[in-house]
């Protein structure tokens, strides 16, 4: 099924609730339907669930393909192998895998967005990443009007990165992804805040259903679940790599009472390196505060790494706050913050 709109207001399709119009918006239930369109636009932007993008007030020229499948549209599920349409909601896929008693996705419970975006961004949480279970993907090249397969090695996956983010590959559209999961646990849960949550709720992290509950509650307490009550794009910045001296200084701004050793272990779990520090700690060390506001834009009171549109903000205002944060972190701490949120369209 496809629905075509002209001059569609894109703000309605993003969690930040901002953005101009698209000349043409094509809504599809699955990425496979993209291949069935009789004609494809030359200028094409793919938008999934709008959970990790900031679209400019000028909107997006050309056509926008909106890929959203509400449920886990599993193409095949054979023993431990799952192939899924890129338009599938990621958390629906996680829930499906747990229903099948398959391990490998559970620590990424609650991450918003679609499977295609998850692959492009190599999403990760609590030590588990897409790269850990991905086998291969199918992509469509609209410039050559052909689809082909890429292996996990082809994607050069690293922390929050695949080479699909490179300018020469951004035109490629993920159609489906194939993962290899397991009937047995693939890793231990070691993240201290999650373990604290498990102990408090008397949940066993060695049980698959319990592990999902632990992660969802840990994310809820950290203010990192998108629940529709506020307009944010989740964590706005990637955790940066810093020097030992910078890490020791930044860790001091933790507000949870954890020891430096515990925080270093959590940094290593989240980013693969104890020198990849929390971007939230960077903001606090740079002098920013929870709830700090710039008119209708603020840092979320429960999660300082979330930039929130409290109502009526323009995309440019959010962009300006982000650039101020980046400049301040560089000037005060010598730290280079990179947005995790993707900017679409033209900004001043």
Domain ranges of the chain: 2-67, 70-228, 230-340
Inform me whether the pLDDT recorded for 234 exceeds 70: yes
For residues 161-184, give the mean pLDDT. Answer: 95
Q: What are the residues facing 198 on neighbouring strands?
A: none
What's the pLDDT at 122? 96
pLDDT for the residue numbered 208: 97
Q: Are 344 and 53 in contact (CB under 8 A)?
A: yes
**Which tokens belong to 152?**
């996990």
Rounded to an integer, the average pLDDT of 115-121 is 96
The CATH class given to the 70-228 domain equals alpha beta
Q: Which helix (H) or strand (E) holds 76?
A: strand 74-78
pLDDT above 70 (res 73): no
DSSP state of 207: S
Contact 53, 342 (CB under 8 A): yes
69-83, 101-115, 267-281: which range is least confident on average?
Answer: 69-83
Contact criterion met (CB below 8 Å) for 233 and 52: yes
pLDDT of residue 209: 97
Which residues, 6 or more positions from 17, have their beta carbon under 8 angstroms from its beta carbon?
11, 231, 309, 313
Which pLDDT band holds residue 253 (cuts at 50, 70, 90)?
A: confident
The answer regarding whether domain 230-340 maps to CATH 3.90.78.10 reads: yes
For 58, the 3-state DSSP assignment is coil
* Percent with pLDDT over 90 in the chain: 76
What six digits make up the tokens of 206?
């060695």
Output the six-digit token pair for 242.
């810093």
Q: Which CATH code is given to the segment(s) 2-67?
A: 3.30.43.10
For the sheet containing 293-294, what is the strand order?
231-235, 306-309, 297-299, 293-294
pTM given for the model: 0.91
């Amino acid at each position: 099924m496809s629905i075509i709109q002209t001059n569609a207001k894109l703000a309605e399709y993003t969690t930040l609730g901002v953005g101009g119009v698209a000349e043409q918006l094509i809504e599809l239930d699955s990425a496979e339907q993209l291949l069935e369109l009789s004609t494809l636009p030359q200028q094409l932007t793919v938008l999934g669930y709008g959970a990790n993008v900031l679209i400019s007030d000028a909107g997006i020229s050309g056509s926008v393909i909106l890929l959203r499948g509400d449920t886990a549209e599993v193409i095949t599920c054979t023993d431990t192998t799952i192939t899924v349409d890129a338009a599938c909601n990621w958390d629906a896929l996680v829930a499906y895998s747990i229903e099948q008693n398959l391990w490998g996705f559970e620590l990424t419970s609650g991450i918003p967005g679609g499977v295609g975006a998850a692959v492009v961004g190599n999403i990760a949480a609590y030590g588990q990443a897409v790269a850990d279970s991905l086998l291969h993907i199918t992509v469509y090249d609209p410039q050559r009007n052909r689809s082909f397969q890429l292996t996990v090695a082809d994607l050069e996956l690293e922390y929050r990165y695949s080479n699909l983010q490179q300018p020469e590959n951004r035109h490629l559209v993920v159609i489906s992804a194939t993962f290899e999961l397991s009937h047995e646990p693939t890793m231990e849960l070691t993240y201290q805040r999650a373990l604290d949550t498990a102990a408090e709720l008397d949940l066993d992290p060695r049980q698959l259903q319990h592990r999902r509950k632990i992660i969802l509650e840990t994310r809820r307490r950290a203010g990192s679940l998108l629940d529709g009550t506020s307009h944010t794009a989740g964590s706005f910045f990637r955790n940066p790599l810093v020097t030992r001296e910078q890490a020791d200084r930044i860790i001091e701004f933790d507000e949870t009472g954890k020891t430096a050793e515990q925080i270093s272990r959590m940094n290593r779990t989240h980013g693969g390196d104890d020198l990849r520090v929390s971007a939230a700690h960077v903001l606090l060390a740079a002098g920013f505060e929870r709830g700090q506001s710039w008119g209708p834009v603020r840092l979320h009171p429960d999660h300082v790494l979330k930039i929130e549109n409290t109502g009526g903000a323009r995309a440019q205002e959010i962009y300006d706050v982000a650039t101020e944060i980046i400049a301040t972190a560089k000037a005060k701490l010598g730290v280079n913050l990179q947005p995790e949120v993707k900017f679409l369209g033209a900004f001043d």
